[in-house]
Structure 1
Amino acid sequence: MIPPAAAPDFLGQAGWGNAAIVPLAGDASFRRYFRVIDGARRAVLMDAPPPHEDPRPFIAIAEHLLDQGFAAPRILARDLQQGLVLIEDFGDLRVKEHMDDAPGEELAVYARAIDLLADLHALPAAPVPPYDRAVYQREVGLLTEWYCPAIGLDVDVDAYVRAWDAVLPIVEQSASPTVTVLRDYHAENIMLVDTPAAHGLGLLDFQDALAGHPAYDLVSLLQDARRDVPPETEAAMLAHYKAIASPSADFDAAYAVLGAQRNAKIIGIFTRLWQRDGKPRYLSFLPRMWGLLERDLAHPALAPVADWFAANIPADKRHDALREFAA
């Protein structure tokens, strides 16, 4: 976590020349984050190095969300050639740690996160690409591309594609509106911020936003890859969303399909993070992901995909089958 060589000049030109640069965090991508401290002033330096990262989508979605009244970080300075962006600092109070420390507030905090989604879904979608069949298939393909070989399985990939083709029309032909899908809306990417706007919640990590089905971000929040959400909490929050957003009658089926789609994708991504990127700690999340995926597959709408999993990935090749490699 050494700051990029161009950071001092960039900060100097942005009016932060005397600031200290302190490592803050990295994530599952090539992006890195640093806290910039100048007396009482605080900001966050995003290092999104080209060609691996492009900060322009983050900037565009941040400005779109701010225009719509949501608490996204304000962009304070940018250097697109260097991949450096100085953004508003939302502090350190993430929803995940807050709920871990104050479990009695879990329902109230999740309800606020659901309220925010309902507000977002009541607005026209951002000018972003569609979450379409090609994207869905490319994402679920990460499981057969990375997880299955890692576990020593030679599976029927063509049948896998056909199984998903059989269930994805439920999402594509849904009566639900097309909305802005943040795609990584969960407790580690939501901050508690001191603002009356947007239910006091600050949004992060939305640079991959697409226009798609409203159930997706609910799955991201309530079937969290990194945090156990009690089934009763998930059920209560889905009921809360339905009460305030009045989704279409096929919402439960769409939620299950997108849950299975997202969880299959994440199993592939976390395997790739271990094998390609040398980040074995993500393997520790796989038992949770398999549990969520199997629960989604039990929905009747997923029958073709469930049949494929039953025929291709035995029970002993799921859950913690890669545990010996986890850090």
Structure 2
Amino acid sequence: MPDRSDLLAQFVEQTDWRDASRTIVAGDASNRRYDRLKKPNGATSILMDAPPEKGEDVRPFIEIAQYLRDVGVSAPDILEADVSRGFLIIEDLGDALFAKLMATEPNRELELYQAATDVLLHLHSNTPPDTLEPFDASTMASMIDLAFSWYTHGADSSWADALEELNDVFPRILQEHVAPPSVFMHRDYHVENLLWLPDRAGTARVGVIDFQDAKIAHPAYDLVSLLQDARRDVPKDVEAVLLSRYISRSGQDPEDFLAAYHVLGAQRNLRILGVFARLCMHFGKPHYLQFIPRVYSLLMRDLDHPALVPVAGLLRRTLPDPTPQTLKKLKEKCATFPMP
């Protein structure tokens, strides 16, 4: 049986991109890999390699990309596809990631965040695909254990009793403060997945990638993803301006929306603490540990909201501070832990 590199070469050879050169663009936290194809005439595209044998499936990417383009959002066009083998050639939206632009042109930070927020407002004014699964309270509650079974466990702290108590209380907080799923949710909507396309107009100026895990969720979820970013500090005044922008333009009740925003922030940051610890301890990717202090700090901020009073004390007592000693314990377990 041909190996995957041979299959990939065969796929490209059967397309109009057979004479293109290839350079790696990125891998990510999953098993996907992206290369840039460049023809002799200068035309470029992106080659996605998503191995089905490792659990990847390109069909959601294709379907969601079509939906996003249909509602006027700049998702990559699909140029070539071998769905069964997990190969795609997609439109190249360029390299102007919001994260890079904010680093090189910090004076544009607010402008770019406003553009990203306006895309969410636009998406949330459209009916989401009925094929997407709901990201509901029970689903979210089932994910918070990662902070204990990976992060707290990896830091050699006790956690079983605390998780049992949290599992009793946190679902009720979600039910009380987070309305049922109603809008399209990207799920990883942050500045590493957004590209600036200045030649396009309106919300189409924002290119969107890495949306294959989309669900239907509460409107605040993607705003949490954008403004409580695990990979970069978002100034508090910028966060406040954008929350106000979203609330006023969407007609949300401010008190209810902010409660949902912080409850969803707590849920998301608990999950990410565990995911980043797992990426190190099981998958051998220790560089994700550098983000844990920021995620922990964001979680502690969310716990200041009155909606989270019933669990704030428990979480502050149980989750160890991400001190250098704590992170060292996690790093020492890198690539040594099987999946539970």
TM-score bracket, shorter-length normalisation: over 0.9
Asked whether 1:162 is paired with 2:168, we answer: yes
SS in 2 for 1:33: strand
Q: Partner of 1:41 in structure 2?
A: 43
Asked whether 1:10 is paired with 2:16, we answer: no
Aligned residues: 322
Counterpart residue number, 2:233: 228
- The residue number in structure 2 matching 1:298 is 304
The runs of 5 or more residues in structure 2 that have no matched partner are: 335-340
Q: CA deviation at 1:214?
A: 0.5
Greater Cα shift, 105-114 or 5-14: 5-14
Q: Specify which of 47, 54, 57 is matched with residue 54 of structure 1.
A: 57
Supply the distance in 2 between the matched residues of 1:149 and 1:219 (Cα, whole angstroms).
26
1:123-149: CA deviation from partner (whole Å, max 9, x where unpaired): 112220000123202221211121111
Alignment check: 8 A CA contact 2:134 2:215 kept: yes
> Which deviates further from its counterpart, 242-251 or 260-269?
242-251
Q: In the alignment, what sits opposite 1:181?
A: 185
SS in 1 for 2:212: coil
Aligned-pair identity in percent equals: 41
Alpha-carbon distance in structure 1 between the residues aligned to 2:108 and 2:60: 33
Alpha-carbon shift at residue 321 of structure 1 (Å) = 4.6
State how 1:1-327 maps to structure 2 within 5 Å.
4-39=5-40, 40-51=42-53, 52-127=55-130, 128-155=132-159, 156=161, 157-173=163-179, 178-193=182-197, 194-249=199-254, 250-314=256-320, 317-318=321-322, 320-324=324-328, 325=331
Looking at structure 2, the residues matched to 239 and 321 of structure 1 have their Cα atoms a distance apart, in angstroms, of 39
SS in 1 for 2:88: strand
Supply the distance in 2 between the matched residues of 1:12 and 1:264 (Cα, whole angstroms): 45
The amino acid that maps onto 1:108 is: E
Q: CA deviation at 1:240?
A: 1.1
How far residue 30 of structure 1 moved from its aligned partner, in angstroms, is 0.6
Gap regions ≥5 residues in structure 1: none
Matches of 1:42 and 1:273, distance apart in 2: 32
Question: What's the Cα RMSD here?
Answer: 1.8
Distance in 2 (CA, whole Å) between partners of 1:191 and 1:170 is: 36
Amino acid at match of 1:79: D
Could you tell me how far apart the structure 2 residues matched to 1:280 and 1:170 are? 37
What is the CA distance between 1:302 and its match in structure 2? 0.7
The one-letter amino acid paired with 1:219 is: V
Cα 1:42/1:102, change in 2 over 3 Å: same
Which range is displaced more, 31-40 or 302-311? 302-311
Distance 2:325 2:311 in 1: 21
- The TM-score normalised by the length of structure 1 is 0.94
Q: Aligned partner of 2:78: which letter?
A: I
Instruction: Give the CA deviation at 1:310.
Output: 3.0
CA positional deviation for 1:12: 2.1
CA distance in 1 between partners of 2:16 and 2:123 (Å): 34
> Compared with structure 1, are the counterparts of its residues 137 and 84 closer, same or farther at alpha carbon in structure 2 (3 Å cutoff)?
same
- Which moved further from structure 2: 283-292 or 235-244? 235-244
Alignment TM-score, normalising by the size of structure 2:
0.90
Q: What is the CA–CA distance in structure 2 between the aligned matches of 1:223 and 1:256, rounded to whole Å?
A: 10
Question: Deviation digits for residues 272-295 of structure 1, max 9, x if unmatched?
Answer: 100111100000001100100000
